[in-house]
Structures are given as structure tokens and as C-alpha cells.
């Protein structure tokens, strides 16, 4: 492998970045004649184009009682658009080997397109139809509804989903982040075609639009494409962001009784936002504690030393307006109390003492060395660039990221451990028949 120089070109100047990879990358900021911006990485070595894009707003914009509306919208975007009914749209999409997908998060509504470069004109035209003139035909909607209902019913019985949802409800109470973004059987049944049309009008606006494109297309062609595909969208204000979000404090344990051989345990507390100036040292701390596979402290203590679980993870989970530290594990019912006790002891030791210098050095090597793997395909690059835009990290973030990690000191990481880890104030949900655990507390 040779050294990769990643150059970010903005307003006429170039910044150099070095990674280990097999090819070179350039990132350009492209502005269309109509003022739509995108980040572009040209790669003509392979005749493919990948585009990721997002609109501000997501499931937090669902109407009360109709949770899952934005999620429902994702399933209707290939059910006919413009002059094509559902069957014709899907047939042309498959003939062109075009992939168009949508996903709804709590704070963003994201989409992606992948196409052979020779079919780009038709592929982008399909996307334009989807974005500007989707059909919400009743028969197709009922078919899609049944698919989502089956999934929602299964989620209500699936232990991991039960534990996670209960945890979010304890953490956020009646706030928007507590709602089930994919909907419930009751809320999905209530959604109408007019609800989908209203959600489409609310979310699909040029304001708040972010675009990342990677592959066999040049800046001039992309500029024209941006206006053609997205220019017909309204320039309306995106949904108002969630405000005044608070995370409850433990200690609280909620046990949900289910006759299953394992207990599923979700545990955590309030974290920090991605915009927090101390996010990088906090992230490093969380990786030492519960990330990076078998190297983490929680894995070493609970899986490797005691064999209490096949897998455990813990890490930062920042949303746009609230941050969380959340972990989960599955263990035999008779070992549930023991496993949670070891989790608490491990968290307490991290808060009290922080990591060692050796742990910090090892995680820095892993994080900086593995970063280039996020950029080894067109799809990955497009996803990374979109995420950087969504988090407002700046087009030079990739240039700075590894040096930011390398500059973090042991004292900084210890400070974040003291700040963020509180083993005595955990919110805990358990699904199963756990021995040694019972519901306690109410949070607050």
C-alpha cells in the first residue's frame, strides 16, 4: 500500500491529508447555478456514482399519535413517481441497475443513489421524480403498511427492541426522543395518504439539504445535475428542531418480565453532544471502556474473564439535541445480577482512575490506523462526507481528525471519565427473568 494524499479543495486552496490506502482522493465543494451545494469526490477508475443526501427533520416531526410517518414515507418512495406507476418505476430501476434507498432517523431524513455512470442521466431523472412527485396510491400504501405492521408487531416481542425502547422512555419520558421512530401497530394503522403527503412537503426542502457525491462525474456535470434533481423542491423552512431536551437521571431499574432463557440488559446515562469541544477525548474514553471489540474493558471483564456474555458494548450516542452513554449485553438469567454488578464496578473504576497510558496509546493507534478504512469504497466515502456535513464538522475535518486524536492527553481522557461516567446513577432496563435484579426507583 502506498500513501494516500487526500486533498480538500475549497475556494481555490488545497489542504493535504495522508492516509494509508491504494488510491488518491480529492474533495471539492460544488455550487450549482441555483445555489445548491454538494461535496464531490471524483473517481473515474470505476464507472460508478454514489450519492448520499439528507434533509433536516425526521421522526421527531411525526404527528402525535401517528409515530412512524417519516419511516412509512421511506417505504413509499419507490411505489410510483411522476409519470411512472409503481410497477413501471421498479421495472425501469431494475433494468438500469439503479439503487435508490431512503432512511428516516430522529433528526434527519436520508437518501442514497447508486448507478452506473453510463446510466446516470436516467438514474438522476428517476431520483428527481421520487423527490418531487412521489405517488401515495392507496393499494400500494396498504401493502407497505402491512409490511411495517408485521415488523412493528415483531419488535414489540423482540427482547432487544423491548429493552431499548423501555430505556429511551425512561431516559426521555414524554419528550419526542422517547417515541418509537418506526411506529407502533396502532400509530402505523392511523397514517393516511394525506399524512404522507404532508410529511413529504415538510421534509423535502432545499433548505437543510446536504449532498455528497462520489464517483465518475465531474464538477461541472454535478452542478447541473444538482439543479435538475433538487431544484424543483421548495425553498421552505425545514421542521423546527427539537428544543429543551433533558435526559433523566437514575438510579432506576426496570425489569420487563419475559419467559426467555437470557436477560437483555440496557444501561447508561446522559452523554454529550457531538458539538461539545471535549467530544474527542470523551469518545476515546468510551472506546477504551466499551468499544473496539475484545480490547475494551467491559469485554475483558465480562466476556473474557468470566464468560458471562457473548458480547457487550458501550459508547457515546449523540443525537442532534441530546447525548447518551448507552451499553447493552445479554446474559443467562441466573447471571444477570452478577453481570450488572461487574458493569457498575468497571464503570466506577474508569470514573475514579481513568484509563492507563498504555490503553490510551493503543486506542490512538487503532483509531488513527483504522480511519482510512472508512474511505475505501465510493459508498463509504459518500456516507462519511454526508455525516461530516450533518454534524457541521467542516470540510477540513478529515484533514484534522487523526491529529486531533493523537493530540489528546491522558489527563483529558480522565477528565471526561469523571465527567460522564456515574455508575450510581445508571438507567437500566432488563428483559427476561433476571436473578438478582428487580425494578427500583423512578428516575429523575
For 298-310, what is each residue's pLDDT tens digit?
Answer: 999 999 999 999 9
**Residue 1 scores a pLDDT above 80:** no
On the question of pLDDT at 399 being above 90, the answer is no
Q: What share of the chain has pLDDT > 70, as a percent?
A: 93
Say if CB 166 and CB 429 are below 8 A apart. yes
Average the pLDDT over 177-201 and give the result.
96
Work out the average pLDDT over 151-172. Answer: 96
- Beta-carbon contacts of 251 under 8 Å, excluding residues fewer than 6 positions away, are 424, 425, 426, 427, 428, 440, 441
pLDDT above 60: residue 4: no
Q: Residue 241: its pLDDT value, please?
A: 86
pLDDT at 56 over 50: yes
Q: Comparing 5-19, 208-222, 259-273, 286-300, which segment has the lowest mean pLDDT?
A: 5-19
- For 214-245, the pLDDT digits (tens) are 999 999 999 999 999 999 999 999 998 888 89
Say whether pLDDT at 144 is over 70. Answer: yes
At residue 15, the pLDDT reads: 34
Q: Provide CATH 3.30.830.10 ranges for the chain.
A: 32-230, 252-432
Buried b (16+ CB within 10 A) or exposed e, 22-56: eeebebbebebeeebebbbbbbeeeebbbbbbbbb
- pLDDT given for residue 24 in this prediction: 47
Match domain 32-230 to its CATH number in 3.10.180.10, 3.30.830.10, 3.30.1490.20, 3.40.50.300. 3.30.830.10
Query: Mean pLDDT of all residues in the chain?
Result: 92
CATH superfamily membership of 252-432: Metalloenzyme, LuxS/M16 peptidase-like (3.30.830.10)
Question: Which residue from 35, 44, 80 is spatially nearest to 100, judged by alpha carbons?
Answer: 80
Judged against a pLDDT cut of 60, whether residue 295 lies above it is answered with yes
pTM to 2 decimal places: 0.91
Amino acid at each position: 500500500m502506498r500513501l494516500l494524499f487526500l486533498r480538500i479543495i475549497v475556494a481555490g486552496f488545497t489542504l493535504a491529508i495522508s492516509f494509508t490506502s491504494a488510491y488518491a482522493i480529492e474533495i471539492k465543494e460544488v455550487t450549482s447555478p441555483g445555489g445548491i451545494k454538494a461535496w464531490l469526490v471524483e473517481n473515474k477508475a470505476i464507472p460508478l456514482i454514489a450519492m448520499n443526501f439528507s434533509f433536516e427533520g425526521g421522526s421527531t416531526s411525526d404527528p402525535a399519535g401517528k409515530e412512524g410517518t417519516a419511516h412509512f414515507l421511506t417505504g413509499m418512495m419507490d411505489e410510483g413517481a411522476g409519470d411512472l406507476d409503481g410497477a413501471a418505476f421498479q421495472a425501469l430501476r431494475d433494468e438500469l441497475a439503479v439503487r435508490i434507498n431512503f432512511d428516516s432517523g430522529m433528526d434527519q431524513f436520508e437518501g442514497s443513489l447508486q448507478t452506473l455512470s453510463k446510466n446516470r442521466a436516467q438514474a438522476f431523472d428517476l431520483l428527481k421524480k421520487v423527490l418531487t412527485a412521489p405517488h401515495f396510491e392507496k393499494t400500494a400504501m396498504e401493502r407497505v403498511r402491512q409490511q411495517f405492521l408485521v415488523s412493528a408487531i415483531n419488535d414489540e416481542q423482540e427482547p432487544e427492541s423491548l429493552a431499548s425502547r423501555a430505556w429511551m422512555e425512561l431516559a426521555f419520558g414524554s419528550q419526542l426522543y422517547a417515541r418509537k421512530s418506526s411506529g407502533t401497530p396502532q400509530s402505523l394503522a392511523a397514517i393516511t395518504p394525506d399524512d404522507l403527503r404532508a410529511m413529504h412537503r415538510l421534509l423535502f426542502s432545499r433548505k437543510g439539504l446536504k449532498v455528497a457525491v462520489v464517483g465518475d462525474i465531474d464538477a461541472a456535470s454535478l452542478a447541473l445535475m444538482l439543479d435538475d434533481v433538487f431544484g424543483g423542491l421548495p425553498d421552505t423552512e425545514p421542521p423546527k428542531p427539537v428544543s429543551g431536551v433533558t435526559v433523566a437521571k437514575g438510579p432506576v431499574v426496570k425489569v420487563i418480565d419475559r419467559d426467555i432463557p437470557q436477560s437483555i440488559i440496557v444501561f447508561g446515562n446522559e452523554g454529550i453532544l457531538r458539538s461539545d469541544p471535549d467530544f474527542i477525548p470523551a469518545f476515546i474514553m468510551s472506546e477504551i471502556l466499551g468499544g473496539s471489540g475484545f480490547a475494551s474493558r467491559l469485554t475483558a471483564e465480562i466476556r473474557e474473564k468470566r464468560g458471562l456474555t457473548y458480547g457487550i458494548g458501550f459508547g457515546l450516542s449523540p443525537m442532534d439535541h441530546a447525548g447518551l452513554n448507552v451499553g447493552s449485553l445479554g446474559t443467562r438469567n441466573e447471571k444477570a445480577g452478577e453481570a450488572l454488578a461487574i458493569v457498575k464496578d468497571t464503570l466506577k473504576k474508569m470514573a475514579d482512575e481513568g484509563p492507563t497510558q498504555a490503553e490510551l496509546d493503543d486506542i490512538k493507534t487503532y483509531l488513527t490506523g483504522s480511519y482510512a478504512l472508512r474511505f475505501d469504497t465510493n459508498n463509504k466515502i459518500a456516507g462519511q462526507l454526508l455525516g461530516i456535513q450533518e454534524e457541521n464538522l467542516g470540510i477540513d475535518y478529515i484533514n484534522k481528525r487523526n491529529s486531533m486524536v493523537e493530540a489528546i492527553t491522558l489527563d483529558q481522557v480522565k477528565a471526561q471519565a469523571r465527567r460522564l461516567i456515574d455508575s450510581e446513577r445508571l438507567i437500566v432496563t432488563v428483559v427476561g427473568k433476571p436473578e438478582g435484579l428487580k425494578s427500583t426507583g423512578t428516575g429523575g
